[in-house]
Copies of this chain bind each other. A is one copy, B any other.
Amino acid sequence: MAEQERAIRTRRTILFAAAKVFQEHGYQAATISQILAEAGVTKGALYFHFPSKEDLAQEVLLSQNQDFHVPDHPSKIQEIVDIVLLHTYRLQTDPLVQAAVRLSLDELAHGLNRSDSFMRWDNMLQERLEKAQAQGELLPHITPAETAGILVGAYTGIQSLSQALTSHQDLATRVTALLRHLLPSITVPSVLASVDMSENRILKLHTDTTAQTR
């Protein structure tokens, strides 16, 4: 195994270990010793990749937006739906994304920049909303900046509720219901009629993006 490849694997092992420890103990109580024990690497290896607990947490936070691509679509509203559905799939299956979302909601994580992770989602959605507006997909009174904030906030809470009540088992059902409750207030009816926001689309998106990555 080439040295660079080994370094990448070690980095990934440390990140997953950190995600698990943050998930179990919260940011404040988590320690580097716990992460070392979980990862089974040396202190030197850990500090080579991540100078501090904060750096580790910021990298975990960032993971929810990394390798995140939805296919181009003529309807920017469909792209927004696809972002929401793909994130839902990852949140149900990827421990790193689960830890990232939990950290972004950890009110005790003082010293951690939690705003950035919300702002990354906000920007990603606002950009699509502006394009949607330019091509006439939005109702006339909609302000992309305000609507992006509503989408990010509402999604965040739907996942908190689904986590608290069913450990994310019913997340996809709640998320598609949220889309059905928000999009009619945002989108012109002719666009709405051809948007696919069904749970089935999640699997299709996952298959497509996996194929694309290969």
Show the binding face of A for B, using Cβ within 8 Å: 24-26, 28-29, 102, 104-105, 107-108, 114-115, 118, 146-147, 149-150, 152-165, 174, 177-178, 180-186
Task: Knowing A26-B28, A28-B29 are in contact, say whether A161-B165 is a contact too (CB < 8 A).
Answer: no
In the bound assembly, the distance between CA atoms of A160 and B152 in angstroms comes to: 10
Q: Which residue of B lies closest to A164 (CB)?
A: B114
Q: Which residue of B lies closest to A152 (CB)?
A: B161
Instruction: Give chain B nearest CB distance to A20 CB in angstroms.
Output: 14
29 A-B contacts (beta carbon < 8 Å) = A25-B108, A28-B29, A29-B29, A105-B160, A107-B163, A115-B164, A115-B165, A147-B181, A149-B174, A150-B177, A150-B181, A152-B157, A152-B161, A153-B160, A153-B161, A153-B174, A153-B178, A154-B154, A154-B157, A154-B158, A154-B181, A156-B156, A156-B157, A156-B161, A157-B158, A160-B160, A181-B185, A182-B185, A184-B185
Instruction: Give chain B nearest CB distance to A82 CB in angstroms.
Output: 20
Within 8 Å CB of A178, what residues of B?
150, 153-154
Structural contact, B181 and A118, CB atoms closer than 8 A: no
Instruction: Give chain B nearest CB distance to A81 CB in angstroms.
Output: 15
Known: A26-B28, A105-B105, A157-B158. 20 other contacts (CB 8 A): A25-B28, A26-B26, A26-B108, A102-B107, A105-B160, A115-B164, A115-B165, A118-B161, A147-B181, A149-B161, A150-B177, A153-B157, A154-B157, A154-B178, A155-B157, A157-B157, A160-B160, A181-B182, A183-B185, A185-B185
In the bound assembly, the distance between CA atoms of A28 and B23 in angstroms comes to: 13
In the bound assembly, the distance between CA atoms of A164 and B112 in angstroms comes to: 11
> Which of A24, A102, A153, A182 neighbours the largest number of chain B CB atoms within 10 Å of its CB?
A153
Within 8 Å CB of A161, what residues of B?
118, 149, 152-153, 156
